[in-house]
Amino acid sequence: MAAAAAEGLAAYRAVLRAARRTFSGDQLMLTESAVEIRRRFEEHRRLAPGSEDAVRALSDAREAAHFITNMIVQAQRAPSGSFVVKPEKVHAGATLEIPSEEILSTLK
């Protein structure tokens, strides 16, 4: 039981760390992602340790941490009004989808 709780806590912390690192400087995304992460973990709180559902939930959490870290790049608005994306080493090889002008015009 204690090992399962420790594994769940480690997964929770990994997802939070990934969100904190990815969304640093964006208070809204930091707050909202923490709320969503907590909500997802609370939904799975009562799963029996070692059950198929618990194993799947932990796997999903590890996958989420990996995805947030490696596939999301936070763009920042430059003084000129355009957006600047600064991928890091962890993003090497990832596919980068550039938002369309239509989407960007709604953000101004």
What is the pTM (predicted TM-score) of this model?
A: 0.73
Rounded to whole angstroms, the Cα distance separating 45 from 22 reads 26
Rounded to whole angstroms, the Cα distance separating 10 from 20 reads 15
Secondary structure E strands in 15-106: 76-77, 83-84
The answer to whether 33 and 23 have CB atoms below 8 angstroms apart is yes
Query: Terminus-to-terminus CA distance in the chain, angstroms?
Result: 51
- Which pLDDT band, with edges at 50, 70 and 90, does 92 fall under? low
Token reading at 65: 């941490």
Q: Which residue has the higher pLDDT, 11 or 83?
A: 11
